[in-house]
Amino acid sequence: MATQPSTTLMANAIRALAMDAVQQANSGHPGAPMGMAEIAVALWGRHLRHNPANPHWPGRDRFVLSNGHGSMLIYALLHLTGYDLPMSELRNFRQLHSKTPGHPEVGITPGVETTTGPLGQGVTNAVGMALAEKLLAREFNRDGHAIVDHFTYVFLGDGCLMEGISHEACALAGAWKLNKLIALYDDNGISIDGKVAPWFIDDTPRRFEAYGWNVIPGVDGHDVDAVDAAIAQAKKSDKPTIICCKTNIGQGSPNRAGTAKAHGEALGAEEIKLTRAALGWTHEAFVIPAEAYSQWDAKASGAALEASWNSAFDAYQAAFPDLAGEFSRRTKGELPASWAQTAAEAIAAANAKAETVATRKASQIALEAFTKALPELLGGSADLTGSNLTNTSSTPAFRLEADGSSNGGRHINYGVREFGMAAIMNGLALHGGFIPYGGTFLTFSDYSRNAIRMAALMKQRVIHVFTHDSIGLGEDGPTHQSVEHAAALRLIPGLDVWRPADTAETAVAWARAIESKDRPTALLLSRQNLPYAPKASLDDVSRGGYVLAEPAEVGLKKKAQAVIIATGSEVQLALHAQQQLAVQGIAVRVVSMPSTTVFDRQDAAWKKAVLPAGLPRVAVEAGVTAGWWKYGCAAVIGIDTYGESAPAGVLFKHFHFTAENVAATVQTVLQG
């Protein structure tokens, strides 16, 4: 097919901006934007439904640049099509406080749907977005009123396909028949270390056929019309589609095209001069001719697309006012007006029942109330539903009907795919309309960790249910016993970590997680039963750390001489130790700290009230001791080794997690 002059101009505008910005920053990846320029022209110029004036309108298509190192591609596209990304920001590429950071970041650059840097996570986010579209369409669309009807497009490269997470996510996309998901694969055969052939020999088309995808192989990625036709074909499929586009990395550069140097290095002044000549691009750096802007401008077409969708939504609202109101609420991420009462009643009920159950069961009890009240709660588990207890009577399993449509289920069986689950949940949250949660064992948070970090970085409301939170799971042994995981998760900025001690604390933790609109949450829950601990005030629990029991509560009329800080299953040890010490006339305050991350954000007055200056402190948690010393502890009872395989009760005694040892430690501290 012949390439039209206008499309050549559009593609070369991308190439020029990419090489100029990377050169000015002396940092970045010009090769992918230059090699994918025609692919971008085909998608953004002919198919993508978007409005530069309103990057958040619900009816837009989603676009994900999974190979995020090629960030100048999306920045060039956003600038050229009319988003609020002026040339000054492109000149400021990769510089402090610019809207053009080294990798695309959601919330920083208008039009960027997700933060992509760690390869493979972008396409996995896209799977989550496409799943959200499928589920919302099933829930809200009515005959003649398809208000949810958009595509999710993703650009990806060899690196994304080499990362194992792409296997987890793309296998699920095929199983779920996410036909509104279209991936365009930049098959250039080059990575940082050179030609990938010695270490990447996958037959990608057959791999995706095995996943149940529609595969369009052998497309010339430098032929706009060929890519355009492939996208049009993909949009008709009843399966997700991958379009395999053969490209030349750094296309247009006489000496760097097709080489690893084009991947991650500035071209250099002399090579840029030669590239301009080869492309017939006579303009100075960062100068785009008016004709190119005219060809790319999407402001008028975008406004028309949104206006059409708004008109359709107005008709939908007139026909189905309640559904329309619910759709608007959920896409805005707002909780219903009844939420505060729902949360208060669930917490009060847990407190009143005072049950002795594992906190994983307490979590399910809270979820029963919350999933009934919040249809946006979308659950799941990585093949451990019966252990994580993430299913409820309101969340039947997600399955497909004979025609590939959703059955309306709200509990997802992710299979043994912890990392994929975590990143898919990020995509669900980014899309909007859902508050996703998913479960696995705490020790497997290692598999999920980078996606958890990305959720925190992107400030997304995603809830991770991690059960079997300590050596208390017993016979499975050290491979499954979480020792360092609570401490490791607490180190992630922007992540709230809760390790509740009983049913009431668990209900509070769930309520706060649901309300945390701009941060993810990890709930660390026990396998073994934990007794309920009476509380003077339920409101205090939400502050992360609070006074659970004063000396007066064990019959002493003197002020506390020491403080025991505990979390989760160890709170009961602290309470028993308090009783033992009281017999000896030693007055101790017990502080329950279900969330150090929340407690650390409290004001100085609250912290001082809970942990008074001058009182020696002893912390106890069945995990590594690191992290507790910051509270000025004189001693920390923890476990800085790996566990053992034995019944839970045996292990707690073996590792000295007993009330007697806690009491003895307090005595030693007081004796100086």
Bridge partner list, 236: none
- Smallest CA-to-CA distance from 454 within 429, 487, 437 is with 429
CB-based contact 547:606 (threshold 8 Å): no
Beta pairing, strands 496-498 & 546-549: unpaired
Catalytic choice (89, 113, 306, 418): 418
**In sequence order, which residues have a C-beta less than 8 Å from that of residue 112 and are 6 or more positions away?**
74, 78, 104, 105, 106
Tell me how many degrees the CA angle 361-367-373 measures, rounded to the nearest 5.
160
CB-based contact 575:583 (threshold 8 Å): no
Q: How far from chain centre, in Å, is Cα 19?
A: 31
61 is in an annotated binding site: no
387 is in an annotated binding site: yes
643 is in an annotated binding site: no
- Smallest CA-to-CA distance from 395 within 328, 456, 465 is with 465
Beta pairing, strands 435-441 & 463-467: parallel
The two structure tokens encoding residue 317: 């609202």
CB-based contact 50:60 (threshold 8 Å): yes
Beta pairing, strands 190-191 & 463-467: unpaired
159 is in an annotated binding site: yes
* Dihedral (Cα; 158, 163, 167, 168), 10-degree rounding: -150
DSSP string, 450-497: HHHHHHHHHT---EEEEES-SGGG-TT-TTT--SSHHHHHHTSTT-EE
231 is in an annotated binding site: no
263 is in an annotated binding site: yes
329 is in an annotated binding site: no
* Annotated catalytic residue 418: yes
476 is in an annotated binding site: yes
Q: Is 625 helix (H, G, I), strand (E, B) or coil?
A: coil
Please state the φ and ψ torsions of residue 577, each to the nearest 5 degrees. -65, -40
- What size, in residues, is the chain? 672
Burial profile 309-336: b = 16 or more Cβ within 10 angstroms, e = fewer: beebbeebbeebeebbebbeebbeeebe
**Spatial distance between the Cα atoms of 664 and 666, rounded to a whole number of angstroms:** 5
**Spatial distance between the Cα atoms of 95 and 99, rounded to a whole number of angstroms:** 9
527 is in an annotated binding site: yes
Residue type, 21: A
Q: Is 409 helix (H, G, I), strand (E, B) or coil?
A: coil
464 is in an annotated binding site: no
283 is in an annotated binding site: no
* Dihedral (Cα; 492, 495, 500, 506), 10-degree rounding: -160
CB-based contact 438:380 (threshold 8 Å): yes
Residue with tokens 């012949």: 2
CB-based contact 25:94 (threshold 8 Å): yes
Output the known binding site. Answer: 29, 69, 117-119, 158-159, 188, 190, 263, 360, 387, 444, 468, 476, 480, 527
Active site residues: 418
Output the known binding site for substrate. Answer: 29, 263, 360, 387, 468, 476, 480, 527
Output the known binding site for thiamine diphosphate. Answer: 69, 117-119, 159, 188, 263, 444
